A and B are shown apart, each in its own frame.
Chain A
Amino acid sequence: NAGVMQNPRHLVRRRGQEARLRCSPMKGHSHVYWYRQLPEEGLKFMVYLQKENIIDESGMPKERFSAEFPKEGPSILRIQQVVRGDSAAYFCASSPGGADSPLHFGNGTRLTVT
């Protein structure tokens, strides 16, 4: 049973470009969470999605950031017009229920903005 798969593992973008991060949850999991981690810091909640619905996006910046979890296919975190401050590791987690079910994390996408 494959775990949470994130790709790419590393992504380099120039300022102003778009970054698209993908997350395939574990089989049978319909709840997806995205977190951001800066070096030497903790994980900051960004957004919680269920299939085709955004449940809580309170941690996601209102501009340039968007997330989706379509009926078919992976969840996508999209960052438009990236800036240097967007450089971070972005982790996706999935669970079979809400956040009080064990969350399983992927190994992250490390975004570098040059």
Chain B
Amino acid sequence: GENVEQHPSTLSVQEGDSAVIKCTYSDSASNYFPWYKQELGKGPQLIIDIRSNVGEKKDQRIAVTLNKTAKHFSLHITETQPEDSAVYFCAAVLNTDKLIFGTGTRLQVFP
């Protein structure tokens, strides 16, 4: 079946600390894994993505890792800032061209 699980549902960190969000997926055919950030009253915004032929990808303070064998992938945010506070969603796409989202993580960064 098509299922993406995401943990934790809420995460509070002190400014400057790191934040890690983890997701697992059920379908081994999944080949594309984007992460989205959603601020209040807005649509989700793509922040980073990774494809199944790569194990890790980094963009400044954001990195994503993928373990295809275990079927899980993670988002790492280093040196967190208050403006990183938002809801983060992982997603996985199947060959059928359907993007399935995780349940979201509400990240709060305290100054």
Contact with B along A93-114 (1 / 0, CB 8 A): 1000011101111111000000
- One digit per residue, 1 when the CB lies within 8 angstroms of any chain A CB and 0 when it does not, for chain B 42-68 equals 111110010100000000000000000
Q: CA separation between A52 and B58, bound complex, in Å? A: 38
B49 A102 Cβ-Cβ under 8 A = yes
Residue ID in chain B nearest A97 by CB atoms: B97
Check: A65 CB closer than 8 A to any chain B CB. no
Instruction: Say whether B46 contacts A99, CB under 8 Å.
Output: no
- Give the complex CA separation of A84 and B61 in angstroms: 42
Q: Quick one: given A45-B100, A48-B97, are A100 and B42 in contact (CB under 8 Å)?
A: no
Task: For the complex, count residues of A whose C-beta is within 8 A of B.
Answer: 24
User: Shortest distance in angstroms between A10's beta carbon and chain B's nearest beta carbon?
Assistant: 10
Distance in Å from the Cβ of A111 to the closest Cβ of chain B?
15
A43 to B102, CA, bound (A): 8
Number of B residues whose C-beta is below 8 Å from A?
25
Cβ of B41 under 8 Å from chain A: yes
The answer to the question of A63 belonging to the interface, with a C-beta cut-off of 8 Å to chain B, is no
Identify 16 new A-B residue pairs, CB closer than 8 A, beyond the known A102-B34, A107-B41: A33-B99, A42-B6, A42-B101, A42-B103, A45-B99, A45-B100, A45-B101, A48-B97, A48-B98, A56-B97, A91-B44, A98-B93, A98-B97, A103-B46, A107-B43, A108-B42
